[in-house]
């Protein structure tokens, strides 16, 4: 399967712990996006990479959140000192460059903070 993959698919953690998620985009896609989705809402934009450069971060992304894409391929999203409000589905998407290109989504990582 050459689609977008995310790991882990599920993560349960205790409040205050750090968690890291990984996204592997479609290989030829140079754009990578992170979103957060909660029940009954659409995906909320968190951040975006073009190759290895992080070009935009949403104000939703507090200082506890950091994302990297070190070699322009896979990306990681880390949440430090997790809070119960961080519980959500974290979705990664990738696309080719250009506004009209489809974003292909991965299956997401569901985070539960106890």
Give the residue with the Cβ less far from other proteins, 85 or 100: 100
Which residues in the 24-53 window bind other proteins by CB under 8 A?
A: 31, 33, 35, 40-45, 48, 50
Give the residue with the Cβ less far from other proteins, 16 or 97: 97
56's CB contacts (< 8 A; 6+ apart) are 47, 48
Give the footprint of other proteins on this chain (CB under 8 A): 31, 33, 35, 40-45, 48, 50, 55-56, 91, 97-103, 105-108
């Amino acid at each position: 399967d050459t689609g977008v993959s995310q790991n882990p698919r599920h993560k349960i953690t205790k409040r205050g712990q750090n968690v890291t998620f990984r996204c592997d985009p479609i290989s030829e896609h140079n754009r990578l996006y992170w979103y957060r989705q909660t029940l009954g809402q659409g995906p909320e934009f968190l951040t975006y990479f073009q190759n290895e450069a992080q070009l935009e971060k949403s104000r939703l992304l507090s200082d506890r959140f950091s994302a990297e894409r070190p070699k322009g391929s896979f990306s990681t999203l880390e949440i430090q000192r997790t809070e119960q409000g961080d519980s959500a589905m974290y979705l990664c998407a990738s696309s080719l460059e250009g506004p009209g290109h489809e974003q292909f989504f991965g299956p997401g990582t569901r985070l539960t903070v106890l």
